[in-house]
Each structure stands twice: as C-alpha cells, then as structure tokens.
C-alpha cells in the first residue's frame, strides 16, 4: 500500500512524464513543418517513449492500491527557433526530469517504501541514458556548426540514434 505522500509524489511524476510527451510532440510537429524529417521522426518516437514512462507509473500506482490521477497539462511552446536551440531545450528538460526522479526517490526513502524505491530504479537508469543521448546529440550538432551538408546527414542519421546507442558511446 502506498502512503499518501508517495502516492502524491508519484502522481506528480505522472504529470511530468505526460508533459514531457507533449513537449517532444510539439518539437516533432515544429520539425516536421520545417522539413526536418529525421529530427521530426526522432521527436515523435521520443514523445511515445515519454507516454510509455507515464503509463508504467500509472499502472504501478493503481496496482499498489493508490489512484493514478490524470490532470491537465501545461501547454508546451510551439516555436523553437533553430533545431540547435531545440535540442538544447531537450537536454535541459531531461536534466529537470532527472532532478524530479531523484526527489521522488528521496521521498520513498523518507517513507521507507522500498518497493517503490526499487521500482524507481528503472527510471534512475533511464535518465542516465536519456541525458547521455541528449549530450551525444549536442556534441554532434556542435561538430556540424553551420555546414549544410552536415545538417543533411544529421537529419538523416538522428533517427538511428537511440538511447541504447548513446549509452554505449559514453562507456567506450
Ligand atoms: Fe521520461 O524520460 Fe525523458 O523525460
């Protein structure tokens, strides 16, 4: 059984994962209308992953005797300036999410809820990988600079950059 404090904290995270999904969906749509097909596909996929993160939390809360509540969401912005700025925002957003997961883990320790603590380890590992992914992409963007050919290749290849490939890059 979840304590009220843990249930509230988990519901807060459900909202953050849902908002993350919306943020990346908005980025996907922006990239699509700018003709950045590969980047757009990458963001659509990322948006789906965030929805999966949200659903996993919802199932957990309900299975543990709590009530996962679905709330209204903050509307994401719809303009991102340049794709470089957009990926910087993605990175900053993941740092924010990692902090939120850490705070959540802290609550489970305070409440001595080791089952939820154990469950959240998946999210801790996932955030390490997501941050690595975002850093890998920012490094590639810095290399490209303003080179149009580089952008063409980046847009083509970014679809292949997955959380797994970025994580193995950083351990090489
Ligand atoms: Fe849910 O991992 Fe990104 O935000």
CATH at residue 119: 1.20.1260.10
Structure token pair of residue 14? 């459900």
pLDDT of amino acid 160: 82
Using a 6 Å cutoff on CB, does residue 94 contact ligand 1? yes
Q: What is the pLDDT of residue 36?
A: 96
In short, whether 20's Cβ falls inside 6 Å of ligand 1 is: yes
Q: Is residue 103 part of a domain?
A: yes
The protein residue with its alpha carbon nearest to ligand 1, atom 3, reads 94
Q: Tell me the C-alpha distance between 67 and 61, whole Å.
A: 6
Residue 172 lies in a domain: no
Would you say the CB of residue 113 lies under 6 angstroms from ligand 1?
Answer: no
Q: pLDDT below 50 — which residues of the chain?
A: 171-172
Query: DSSP secondary-structure letter at 159?
Result: G
**Which letter, b or e, does each residue of 31-66 get, where b requires 16 or more Cβ atoms within 10 Å of its Cβ?**
beeeebebbbbbbbebbebbbebbeebbebbeebeb
Residue 171 lies in a domain: no
User: Which ligand 1 atom lies nearest to the CA of residue 127?
Assistant: 2
pLDDT at 161: 80
**Domain-embedded: residue 139:** yes
- Any domain includes 51: yes
Looking at ligand 1, which atom is closest to the CA of residue 49?
1
Assigned domain for 75 exists: no
> Is 152 a member of any domain?
yes
- What pLDDT sits at residue 146? 86
Going by C-alpha positions, the residue among 88, 73, 68 that lies closest to residue 27 is: 88
Other C-beta atoms closer than 10 Å to the C-beta of 156 total 12
Query: Ligand 1 atom closest to Cα of 97?
Result: 4
Q: Is residue 170 part of a domain?
A: no
**Considering its fold, how many domains does the chain have in total?**
1
pLDDT for res 165: 61
Q: Which domain holds residue 16?
A: 4-70+80-160
What does the pLDDT read at residue 171?
47
């Amino acid at each position: 059984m979840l304590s009220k404090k843990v249930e509230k904290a988990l519901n807060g995270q459900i909202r953050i994962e849902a908002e993350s999904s919306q943020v990346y969906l908005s980025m996907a749509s922006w990239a699509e209308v700018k003709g950045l097909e590969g980047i757009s596909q990458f963001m659509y996929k990322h948006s789906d992953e965030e929805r999966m993160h949200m659903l996993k939390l919802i199932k957990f809360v309900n299975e543990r005797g709590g009530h996962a509540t679905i709330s209204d969401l903050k509307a994401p912005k719809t303009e991102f300036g340049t794709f470089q700025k957009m990926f910087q925002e993605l990175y900053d957003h993941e740092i924010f999410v990692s902090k939120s997961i850490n705070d959540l883990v802290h609550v489970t320790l305070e409440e001595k809820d080791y089952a939820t603590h154990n469950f959240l380890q998946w999210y801790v590992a996932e955030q390490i990988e997501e941050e690595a992914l975002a850093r890998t992409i920012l490094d590639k963007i810095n290399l490209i600079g303003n080179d149009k050919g580089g952008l063409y290749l980046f847009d083509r290849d970014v679809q292949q950059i997955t959380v797994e490939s970025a994580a193995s890059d950083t351990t090489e």
